[in-house]
Amino acid sequence: MPTAITGARTTINDDATITGTGLTISGYHVNGTVTITNLDQCDLIGIYARDGFIIEADVGAGIYNNSFIGLHTGLGGTGPAKGFQIYTVDPLDQNRCNGNIFVGCSARFCSTVGFEIIRASTNTFISCGSESNGKGMTAESAIRTSVIGGHFETNTTADIDLQTGTSHFRLMGAALLSSTQVMGDNKDATGNVYEESEVFRTIGTLKPTGVEASWIDLLKADESKLRLDGE
């Protein structure tokens, strides 16, 4: 008979906090909320938080250049109101929640939103999932957020809500499967990209492309308005 491979995580029956520089932290099951602050160049791997994650840059305590890999919330049909709260507390302070990468993270069964991003910049989400939430992801005053791959489905209100102050939101190759895919006051903000089949953008707007012709033909047709995705 083959040997069963089982995984084990350290269980914490309380809220937990994570802070530090240059650390690798892995393998925790937290029956509470995980609050992350003052974190720089760390790797967080394989952490489950029953009541969600608060990733906050407060005064004197930024969140920079971290890798969040395999962070999850929402099991068995029950989740917190908000899965991941990713934000800068004071917009006037120089300490921000910027330049982080989220890989293979997921939020399910969150009554309000799976991923909430507020006043944060240049954060990237790769192959993340947001399922059976109120909204899959909201972005408010968020700049240069990238969502690459992953899936959003059965979210009640919308998969992605681009709110006031958000710009340069890039959505590339993600499966948006809910009834409403993209909504919000700033879905047509400068620099936003929402691609379906070819990666290019009309400068200054965010629209599904529905491309049938090749990008080079479109580029030749109107060089003043179309260009390859990028700055």
Q: What is the pLDDT of residues 126-168, one digit of tens each?
A: 999 999 999 999 999 999 999 999 999 999 999 999 999 999 9
pLDDT tens-digit readout, 57-67: 987 889 999 99
Q: Which residues of 43-76 are buried (b: 16+ CB within 10 A; e: fewer)?
A: ebbbbbbbbbbbbbbbeeebbbebebbbbbbbee
Q: Looking at this protein, which amino acid is placed at residue 169?
A: F
Which of 10-14, 45-49, 95-99, 201-205 is predicted with the least confidence, judged by mean pLDDT? 201-205
Selected from 2.40.128.20, 3.40.640.10, 3.30.360.10, 2.160.20.10, the CATH number assigned to the domain covering 10-194 reads 2.160.20.10
Taking the C-alpha atoms of residue 213 and residue 215, their distance in angstroms, rounded to an integer, is 6
pLDDT tens-digit readout, 17-41: 999 999 999 999 999 999 999 999 9
Q: Looking at this protein, which amino acid is placed at residue 28?
A: Y
- The pLDDT score that the predictor gives to residue 70 is 98
Tokens of residue 91, six digits = 């917009």
pLDDT, mean over the chain: 86
- The pLDDT score that the predictor gives to residue 180 is 93
Bigger pLDDT: 193 or 101? Answer: 101
Going by C-alpha positions, the residue among 99, 104, 70 that lies closest to residue 86 is 99
Domain locations along the chain: 10-194
Bigger pLDDT: 52 or 7? Answer: 52
Q: In which band, very low, low, confident or very high, does the pLDDT at 92 lie, cut at 50, 70 and 90?
A: confident
The residue with tokens 């006051």 is 185
Contact 193, 229 (CB under 8 A): yes
- For residue 112, pLDDT beyond 70: yes
Taking the C-alpha atoms of residue 36 and residue 158, their distance in angstroms, rounded to an integer, is 27
- The pLDDT score that the predictor gives to residue 205 is 42
Taking the C-alpha atoms of residue 10 and residue 50, their distance in angstroms, rounded to an integer, is 14
Taking the C-alpha atoms of residue 6 and residue 59, their distance in angstroms, rounded to an integer, is 41
Strand-pair partners of 61: 58
Taking the C-alpha atoms of residue 4 and residue 162, their distance in angstroms, rounded to an integer, is 45
Taking the C-alpha atoms of residue 157 and residue 135, their distance in angstroms, rounded to an integer, is 5
Taking the C-alpha atoms of residue 79 and residue 113, their distance in angstroms, rounded to an integer, is 10
Q: Is the dihedral of CA 44, 105, 80, 160 positive or negative?
A: positive
- The pLDDT score that the predictor gives to residue 188 is 85
- For residue 225, pLDDT beyond 80: no
Going by C-alpha positions, the residue among 20, 55, 26, 54 that lies closest to residue 40 is 20
- For residue 222, pLDDT beyond 60: no
Bigger pLDDT: 90 or 74? Answer: 74
